[in-house]
Structure 1
């Protein structure tokens, strides 16, 4: 069940830069290490519904229902475009500036969770990722997938915290340059817009 092959596969998936990583980096640069940890926590818990769907077989229903898939997908697209605006907007939640924005951890985590919850491809992804590592015993399949899911979540949180901590450490090096801050904000906006575009083109 928890084999070296599974751990290596999960690690490669987790370290690959995606929406959650970009969000955590933006919070680390914009608000510091505390905010990055909350962002990592939110992104991690945003995985729970998709793991549950994969474990219970609901991901197959999402995959076959074009209407349901598109409803979740376009809600995710709209949310990513909103995050792009927050990166560009002066004083926005994702904007990097000399004035350190102070947000409650709950708000930061909630945004991170929504990023993953509103990505329907995650359920289908876990439905494809976990079964190959099952032992083949039908009676323990649900338990095995749950354990692998928890390991994947723990790995996600740890890696995201490292990403966020690195960004928070780099924050003090960019605060003295308005040009660098403007470049970062535009870059985050472009990345979130590109991610929204990619999600919009996804098919069930």
Structure 2
């Protein structure tokens, strides 16, 4: 069930720089390793509702319900645009600044969780990703989906922590240049805005 093929497939998916990775990098650069760790925690737990939906079959309901899909999608678009604004603001939650005060771990994790919770494509993604790796035994299908999901979450957390540690290590070198910090904040804002635009065009 937990085959090498599944591990490699999951690793490729997790390594791909998506919204959660960008968020973790921004926190690592802006607030250091502790913040990056909390970002990884939040993004990882934000996967849980989608894994549950895929396991229980609710993802199929989301896929077929245009209204429900649109509600979650546009909430996600609005949230990504909010994060873009927070990157541009001098005292914003995601701004890279030498003088920025640190947010609490709960605040960081909550924002990270919402990034994934408000992405309706994740439920459909897991509904497509996990079933091909099941044994075919209907009696154990739910348990197998849960196990595969747990492995995927563990890999997500580990990879995100590595991304965050890398960003935190580069933090000291970058904080001495106002020009570089301005460029980073604008870049993160542009990326979040672009991700919002891509999500806006997604269809169920």
TM-score of the two chains, using structure 1 as the length reference: 0.99
Residue matched to 1:120: 120
Q: Deviations over 1:24-77 (max 9, x none)?
A: 000000000000000000000000000000000000000000000000000000
Unaligned runs of 5+ in 2: none
Please name the residue that 2:49 is paired with. 49
Separation in structure 1 between the aligned mates of residue 155 and residue 100 of structure 2, nearest angstrom: 29
Map 1:63-142; keep pairs closer than 5 Å.
63-142=63-142
Say whether 1:189 aligns with 2:195.
no
Unpaired stretches in structure 1, ≥5 consecutive residues? none
**Alignment correspondent of 1:152:** 152
Q: CA deviation at 1:98?
A: 1.0
Paired residues in the alignment total 204
Which whole-Å CA distance do the structure 1 matches of 2:123 and 2:58 have between them?
A: 8
Distance 2:61 2:136 in 1: 23
1:100 to partner: Cα distance: 3.8
Aligned to 2:53, the other structure's residue is in SS state helix
1:17 to 2:37 alignment: no
Could you tell me whether the CA contact under 8 Å between 2:83 and 2:94 is conserved in 1? yes
Distance 1:165 1:47 in 2: 21
Q: Write the distance in 1 (CA, Å) between the matches of 2:40 and 2:136.
A: 33
CA distance in 2, matches of 1:98, 1:32: 11
Give me the CA root mean square deviation.
0.4
1:28 corresponds in structure 2 to 28
Distance of 1:91 and 1:169 partners within structure 2: 22
TM-score (norm: length of structure 2)? 0.99
Residue by residue over 1:127-180, the C-alpha shift from the partner in whole angstroms, topping out at 9 and shown as x without a partner, is: 000000000000000000000000000000000000000000000011111000
Report deviation, 1:102. 1.2
CA separation in 2, counterparts of 1:52 and 1:176?
44
Equivalent residues of 2:91, 2:100 under 8 A apart: no
Q: Deviations over 1:91-145 (max 9, x none)?
A: 1010001114211100000000000000000000000000000000000000000
